[in-house]
């Protein structure tokens, strides 16, 4: 009986392993990984598309509902501030003056209201799969962009109908549109994260939306308030981040008074809210699945 010996040589492990995601809790981060949102962009698109479909599903008017709220707000502002109080906006038609602020406020108010329950409504998904939780409030901001674009188009149509030519600072308008988006998303992150611990906040948010509209120079010029209150009250008034943004939008479109020291208070508040909001969201993200 013969036994044949075979010489064996090691097989080189030169094949590529499949991509895998490692979730390491030992790596402590103080802020969410923004780049991770780009890696989960498909999920972000799906969440936004789902919300858009649910929002307009089985509605008769469909996308037309996007115009009803800002137009109704404009009508009320015209009746109260232009007709009854007779607010003076100078050479700027009041409809344009008011709707420039309403368009930005409508987007901000939508994100504020939707962010309150956004994370709670996604509790089942949070408990079962891993994904960047920041995608939830960001998806609401994407959905709100549909409304914002429609209102900006309507503002353009109104300016054409009034034969009103934008001022020389019109090129700055995209900057303030971006600032509106960042502000809305920042406040939405704060509200979404706080609502997980304090569920009463979702009932308080609608009150803040109504109060904030009148506390922001949307339907009236800022001078109407600043000339009648002391300096310390002006500082408090511009702690509202949307106050400085509305000033900037009107300056870029209608060449009104440029942003001053009061407006920069609002811009500083936006920056502080953004940094602290991302920090707090990352902190609450670690225990989010237990709280929802």
167-197 pLDDT, tens digit each: 899 999 999 999 999 999 999 888 888 888 8
Q: Is residue 153 part of a domain?
A: yes
In degrees to the nearest 10, what's the CA dihedral of 280, 285, 286, 292?
Answer: 120
Per-residue pLDDT tens for 199-224? 778 788 888 888 889 999 999 998 88
Spell 180-211 as b/e; 16+ CB within 10 A means b.
bbbbbbbbbbbbbbbbbeeeebbeebeebeee
Question: Angle, nearest 10°, between helix axes 173-197 and 201-214?
Answer: 150
143 C-beta neighbours (distance < 10 Å), count: 20
Residues 6+ apart with CB under 8 A from 45: none
Residues 150-165, mean pLDDT to the nearest whole number: 92
Mean pLDDT of the residues in the chain: 83
Query: Is the distance from CB of 276 to CB of 282 less than 8 angstroms?
Result: no
Residue 78 tokens, joined: 């015209």
* Residues above pLDDT 70, as percent of the chain: 85
CA distance linking residue 80 with residue 93, whole number of Å: 15
Q: Is residue 12 part of a domain?
A: no
In the block, residue with structure tokens 């600032």? 179
Domain that holds residue 185: 34-51+61-81+89-291
Radius of gyration of the chain (CA): 25
- pLDDT score recorded for residue 44: 84
Model confidence band, residue 287 (pLDDT cutoffs 50, 70, 90)? confident
In the block, residue with structure tokens 């075979």? 6
Residues 72-78, mean pLDDT to the nearest whole number: 91
CA distance linking residue 54 with residue 43, whole number of Å: 16
Give the chain's length. Answer: 292
Query: Is the distance from CB of 218 to CB of 249 less than 8 angstroms?
Result: no
Residue 3 — φ and ψ, nearest 5°? -115, 120
Per-residue pLDDT tens for 89-129? 888 999 999 999 999 999 999 888 888 778 877 778 888 88
- pLDDT score recorded for residue 4: 47
40 C-beta neighbours (distance < 10 Å), count: 16
CA proximity to 89, closest of 261, 222, 214, 215? 222
Q: Is residue 15 part of a domain?
A: no
CA distance linking residue 77 with residue 84, whole number of Å: 10
Q: Is residue 275 part of a domain?
A: yes
Residues 77-99, mean pLDDT to the nearest whole number: 90
Q: Is residue 157 part of a domain?
A: yes
121 C-beta neighbours (distance < 10 Å), count: 13
- pLDDT score recorded for residue 22: 58
Q: Which residue has the higher pLDDT, 199 or 84?
A: 84
Question: Angle, nearest 10°, between helix axes 135-161 and 41-56?
Answer: 60
Q: What pTM value is reported for the model?
A: 0.83
CA proximity to 213, closest of 100, 95, 105, 97? 105
CA distance linking residue 31 with residue 275, whole number of Å: 8
Number of domain units in the chain = 1
Residue 19 — φ and ψ, nearest 5°? -65, 140
Q: Is residue 243 part of a domain?
A: yes
Q: Is residue 3 part of a domain?
A: no
Q: Please check the confidence at residue 39 and state whether its pLDDT lies above 80.
A: yes
Q: Is residue 26 part of a domain?
A: no
């Amino acid at each position: 009986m013969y036994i044949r010996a075979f010489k064996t040589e090691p097989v080189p492990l030169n094949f590529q392993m499949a991509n895998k995601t490692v979730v390491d809790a030992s790596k402590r981060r103080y802020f969410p990984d923004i780049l991770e949102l780009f890696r989960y962009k498909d999920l972000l698109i799906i969440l936004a598309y789902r919300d858009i479909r649910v929002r307009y599903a089985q509605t008769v008017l469909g996308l037309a509902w996007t115009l009803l709220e800002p137009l109704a707000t404009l009508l009320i502002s015209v009746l109260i501030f232009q007709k009854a109080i007779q607010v003076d906006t100078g050479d700027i038609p009041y409809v344009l003056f008011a709707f420039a602020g309403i368009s930005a406020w409508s987007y901000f108010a939508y994100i504020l209201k939707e962010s309150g329950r956004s994370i709670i409504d996604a509790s089942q998904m949070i408990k079962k799969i891993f994904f960047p939780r920041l995608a939830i409030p960001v998806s609401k901001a994407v959905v709100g962009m549909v409304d914002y674009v429609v209102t900006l188009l309507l503002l353009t149509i109104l300016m054409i109908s009034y034969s009103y030519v934008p001022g020389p600072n019109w090129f700055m308008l995209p900057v303030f549109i971006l600032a509106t988006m960042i502000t809305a998303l920042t406040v939405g992150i704060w509200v979404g994260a706080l609502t997980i611990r304090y569920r009463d906040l979702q009932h308080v948010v609608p009150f803040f939306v109504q109060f904030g509209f009148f506390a922001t120079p949307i339907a009236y010029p800022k001078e109407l308030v600043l000339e009648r209150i002391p300096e310390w009250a002006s500082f408090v008034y511009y702690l509202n981040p949307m106050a400085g943004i509305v000033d900037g939008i009107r300056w870029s479109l209608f060449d009104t008074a440029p942003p001053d020291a009061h407006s920069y208070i609002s811009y500083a508040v936006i920056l502080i809210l953004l940094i602290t909001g991302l920090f707090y969201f990352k902190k609450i993200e670690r225990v989010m699945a237990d709280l929802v």
